[in-house]
Structure 1
């Protein structure tokens, strides 16, 4: 029986395979995560700051108070990077913003956390730097392309309010068996379902979304944070959403239960450096630090989103024993098309 979620989701019962079962997307955990960034990377960043002390600019979607904690941990190790600016943008707005600024010759991010399709789109336009990430000390298994490094992820879970739904679904099939009509709020972008395609395939995933919509008649939200907030406020009983979106409610003591389904859809998030970045050396240092043991822990502690490919993170431990379904940047066009097709089914009432 599932227990109440306090710090980690209840497992729905893994496949018995380890996280290495992510072969469908070419994803593997890494064993050689460094403890520190190479000194030459640190020295190059220090020299860059000495020559130009203007702020280091970072684009990503997490709240300002969370990123302030990440910055504090980074500055504690590298105090010469004293000026850091966070610009909070929704994931769908990141690539267009960088594209627009790069074309206009305007100041843009030094580092951006991008979804795989956003990174691929910007690189196809020649707007991302290709860097020797392994020379920066980053474990090879985290480097999927020269322009993007796996840094964190959205792990999609079942999030429910125990007061509204004492017996929530524990498996994907459970969503189709119970009386959940009128109790479900979902993000209107079918990202969690598109992330299932590497394991389930296109046909099975599309059939599932059609059946789900016909069964539960979900309310749709254009904002990914809203469904979890609605569940916490008892304005909805159940959602499928990223684990970290439930953490504010969990940490406040709300009656939230989180179940980790199997297979587990995961949306990998990548750190990239725009070609127009003003501080590419500091950017390289920041990304390398995020992918050390201490940097990965600092980011996860602050945001609740960890790197599933770094074994020392809580996220990797949480996923152990589950079949993970995820895409790589090289498959971004296929991912994008699946999001479009599945979103049309979701918004079209299952048609």
Structure 2
């Protein structure tokens, strides 16, 4: 079933307000506004719950939540504890799902109709494949009218039923003992210098961070960069964890781009800070990163709706900051990622770009010269 198009007026109104107040949730709307929002949503085939009391009552009746999450296991425990404190009537279980193989297995379960989860994590670079299996709650409409306390820019403005409450930035990473900070690239083009040719730095086979440069550079310029990057003959690695391990072991001095949250987590465990990072401009920043939604097959959809809302709350954002770490949304005022990137040129992967990330990555892999699966 195709996704219904919005009428122009509601879209423009929500987007204009979100630009003025990028991190703001809305106060409760008037009765007339709620009635219109509900009519518009239901006319387009979406579910719009006109009362917060109704959402709470239905969640209380369900009394249970089973969620698959992109949160790291260290962050899940305090997040669930805080959620259960707020909603003690919901028996909550949340499990981490991580890695391409796990995502593909879960997608097969969705296609077979055998999953028992209520809420799921949707990998940003395979987002479109998961969309048909999500419940058509009008989360954007309910956030825009104040029924759900979710900043509207955290919600997909086209599909309206998915939420991203965290942000991930990619940074250049290096071994402090093997290379001086002043030699570490300050812009991505620096990796193309002759001094870095011939296995002098690591680059991930999966080009998610390079694909995140498309918003700033455009696709063609990014593909040109990818070809030049491959000509540098980097040491190709699979995954940021592998790159970090090699840096720690002193096998390499430098890695092209790793999630900043991974480095922050390592530095918290390593007081010596053997591994450091540089914020390189334009900063590849996935404003839309960990995407969650309520499954169409959910047995406890209203409890799942509250779970999505909770992750956007100030309390949950603090947990993401501490236990993510460094994963609170850039849309959250005062978040660490907002502070560290303030004044810098950003390459923002927003909802418009996240829907095309699989396309970007496939073309970059081809530009690298790797074999690609043909349709």
The two structures have a TM-score, normalised by structure 1, of 0.80
- The separation in 1 between residues aligned to 2:19 and 2:250, in whole angstroms, is 37
Residue pair 1:34, 1:293 contacting (<8 A) in 2 also = no
Deviations 1:79-99 (A, max 9, x none): 3334313132225643x4443
- The separation in 1 between residues aligned to 2:267 and 2:324, in whole angstroms, is 13
Deviation at 1:318, TM superposition (A): 1.8
Deviations 1:260-319 (A, max 9, x none): 111111232222121112221111111111112222121222111121122232112222
The answer to whether the aligner puts 1:300 opposite 2:300 as a matched pair is no
- The separation in 2 between residues aligned to 1:218 and 1:62, in whole angstroms, is 30
- The separation in 1 between residues aligned to 2:109 and 2:165, in whole angstroms, is 24
In the other structure, the counterpart of 1:5 is: none
SS at match of 1:193: helix
| Higher mean C-alpha deviation, range 64-73 or range 240-249 | 64-73
Gaps of 5+ in 1: 1-22
In the other structure, the counterpart of 1:130 is: 137
Larger radius of gyration: 2
- The separation in 1 between residues aligned to 2:67 and 2:211, in whole angstroms, is 27
CA RMSD between the two structures:
3.1
Name the CA shift for 1:330/1:208 in 2 (closer, same or farther; >3 Å).
closer
In the other structure, the counterpart of 2:79 is: 70
SS at match of 1:152: coil
In the other structure, the counterpart of 2:112 is: 104
Gaps of 5+ in 2: 1-14, 28-50
In the other structure, the counterpart of 2:95 is: 86
Q: How many residues were matched structurally?
A: 319
Residue pair 2:62, 2:303 contacting (<8 A) in 1 also = no
SS at match of 2:304: helix
Deviation at 1:105, TM superposition (A): 2.8
Name the CA shift for 1:229/1:46 in 2 (closer, same or farther; >3 Å).
farther
Residue of 287, 301, 309 corresponding to 1:288:
309
In the other structure, the counterpart of 1:170 is: 186
- The separation in 1 between residues aligned to 2:247 and 2:53, in whole angstroms, is 44
- The separation in 2 between residues aligned to 1:324 and 1:60, in whole angstroms, is 27
The two structures have a TM-score, normalised by structure 2, of 0.75
Q: Which has the higher contact order (CA 8 A, sep 6+)?
A: 1
SS at match of 2:90: coil
Q: Which has the higher helix share?
A: 2
SS at match of 1:136: coil
Residue pair 1:64, 1:88 contacting (<8 A) in 2 also = no
Name the CA shift for 1:300/1:128 in 2 (closer, same or farther; >3 Å).
farther
Residue pair 2:80, 2:92 contacting (<8 A) in 1 also = no
Deviation at 1:250, TM superposition (A): 1.1
In the other structure, the counterpart of 2:199 is: 182
Residue of 241, 257, 265 corresponding to 1:225:
241
The answer to whether the aligner puts 1:326 opposite 2:340 as a matched pair is no
Residue pair 2:110, 2:133 contacting (<8 A) in 1 also = no
- The separation in 1 between residues aligned to 2:172 and 2:179, in whole angstroms, is 12
SS at match of 2:156: strand
Residue pair 2:69, 2:94 contacting (<8 A) in 1 also = no
- The separation in 2 between residues aligned to 1:279 and 1:229, in whole angstroms, is 40
The answer to whether the aligner puts 1:118 opposite 2:126 as a matched pair is yes
